Amino acid sequence: MNYARFLTAVSGARKPSPIRLLTELQQRSPPSLISLAGGAPNPNTFPFQSATIQVKNGQTVTFDETAMKRALQYSASNGIPELLTWMKNLQKDLHNPPTIGYSQEKGQMDMCVTTGSQEGLCKIFEMLVNPGDNVLLDAPTYSGTLAALQPLGCNIINVPSDQHGMIPEALKEVLSRWDQSEVHKPCSTAPRILYTIPNGGNPTGASMTAERKRDVYKLAQLYDMLIIEDDPYYFLQFEKPWAPTFLSMDVDGRIIRTDSFSKILSSGLRIGFVTGPKPLVDRIVLHIQASTMHTSTFTQLMVSQLLHSWGQDGFLQHIDRVIEFYKTQRDAMINSADKWLKADVAEWHAPSAGMFLWMKLRGVADTQQLIMEKALEKEVLLVPGGVFMIDSSDPCPYVRAAFSLSTPEQIDEAFRRLSLLIKEAL
């Protein structure tokens, strides 16, 4: 893989911060080293002293004075070492990426911690997307992705999808506009990146089959594309075994995967991680050095302590409880949808992962006005589908309903109100 081919001029021009390098050197040196380098403030002047955090299972996460000083201090831009080690073991056990152990040139795997997967995604796009580039994705897609991509001035090309996500035959058809043998020519306009949400898609709830992923990966090989695998609902797959990921199929080093703790540990702590070829992860870390410097050390230590005390088994047991909750919520929402919206009002596919039900409202050409004006009067709120479209001004008959936060009773009442609203609008 020639990663230089994929980098924007801005990303290619990033250089390591000399002070950050010294800080990392210092962290690897014996305590006898007297360092007058680095610009770390003296934590003795900070007001916070110690902390004890109760975990729901009765455990505690404690920060004594020494741990607290570390939690309040600057730390490495790629993440604190013990969290990275834990995460690397998890990725290896869950995905067993075949690129591990490959030589540097071929794209050895690496990881970094990010302030939520949104930060990772935004930095990935800024690393790879030039104005005018053709970028592939399956719309409707996460509005946060569109918010990060569209201002870069790229040309987003939609790849048709269904309830199983991106359709490989449709991707092949889109790619047939370009000659495979010419993609490496400097003048080629062939897309170099493809973005997709493989499980419990936001907003569609769609999940890709292993077979579709294999076919999409093969096309990415033919056209020498990178695949951005944005998988925040990976741990919210209701049925086991979980589908194999793009990362698990990555023999070339062309997958950049973003994971998120937002749906399983906390969305407000802001923590996620990027896994991908080392030359690309290095570029993201240089961007972090120049922007946030690193994800909150306090957040990382808190999460790391919990994960180490749980071990991988404890973590996966926690995930099972989370899945159980969302699965019950999904069932409740489908029941209420069957009760109030079936047949003449709306249509949908029950999602097998994630937090969203994507519904097409019959007889409503565009849900924007219905939701933003009339739904509020009836005291029910959903997201009009247009916000997930590449061109948000196109009429869209869909709405997104989240089953994450409301009780089954509230969901039922919301759908009753929605059915009245739609019947009145017809």
Footprint of ligand PLP on this chain (CB under 6 A)? 116-118, 142, 144, 197, 202, 230, 232, 260, 262, 267, 272
- Indicate which of ligand PMP, ligand PLP, none lies near residue 39 (CB less than 5 to 8 Å, by partner kind): ligand PMP
- Indicate which of ligand PLP, ligand PMP, none lies near residue 262 (CB less than 5 to 8 Å, by partner kind): ligand PLP
Strands (E) across 145-191 are located at 155-158, 161-162, 165-166
Q: Are 322 and 205 in contact (CB under 8 A)?
A: no
- For the record, the structure tokens of 139 come out as 């719309």
Contacts of 361 (CB under 8 A, 6+ apart): 345, 346, 367, 370, 397, 398, 399, 422
- For the record, the structure tokens of 332 come out as 């409740």
Our CB check for ligand PLP shows the closer of 190 and 208 to be 208
Per CB under 6 A, residues contacting ligand PMP are 39, 293
C-alpha 348/C-alpha 77 separation (Å) is: 43
- Indicate which of ligand PMP, ligand PLP, none lies near residue 180 (CB less than 5 to 8 Å, by partner kind): none
- Indicate which of ligand PLP, ligand PMP, none lies near residue 232 (CB less than 5 to 8 Å, by partner kind): ligand PLP
Backbone angles phi, psi at 416, to 5 degrees: -60, -45
Report in angstroms how near the CB of residue 293 gets to ligand PMP at its nearest.
Answer: 6
Our CB check for ligand PMP shows the closer of 78 and 329 to be 78
Contacts of 362 (CB under 8 A, 6+ apart): 344, 345, 346, 347, 397, 422
- Indicate which of ligand PMP, ligand PLP, none lies near residue 207 (CB less than 5 to 8 Å, by partner kind): none
Q: Name residue 82's amino acid.
A: E
Cis status of the peptide bond prior to 241, with omega within 30 of 0? yes
Q: Are 234 and 242 in contact (CB under 8 A)?
A: yes
Our CB check for ligand PMP shows the closer of 80 and 171 to be 80
Cβ-closest position to ligand PMP? 39
Our CB check for ligand PMP shows the closer of 67 and 293 to be 293
Our CB check for ligand PLP shows the closer of 110 and 138 to be 138
Cβ-closest position to ligand PLP? 116
Report in angstroms how near the CB of residue 289 gets to ligand PMP at its nearest.
Answer: 11
Strands (E) across 165-291 are located at 165-166, 193-196, 226-230, 255-260, 272-277
Our CB check for ligand PMP shows the closer of 31 and 39 to be 39
Report in angstroms how near the CB of residue 262 gets to ligand PLP at its nearest.
Answer: 3
Report in angstroms how near the CB of residue 191 gets to ligand PLP at its nearest.
Answer: 20
How far CA 219 is from CA of 182, 309, 403, in Å, comes to: 15, 42, 35
- Indicate which of ligand PMP, ligand PLP, none lies near residue 293 (CB less than 5 to 8 Å, by partner kind): ligand PMP
79: left (phi over 0), alpha (psi -120 to 50) or beta: left
- Indicate which of ligand PLP, ligand PMP, none lies near residue 272 (CB less than 5 to 8 Å, by partner kind): ligand PLP
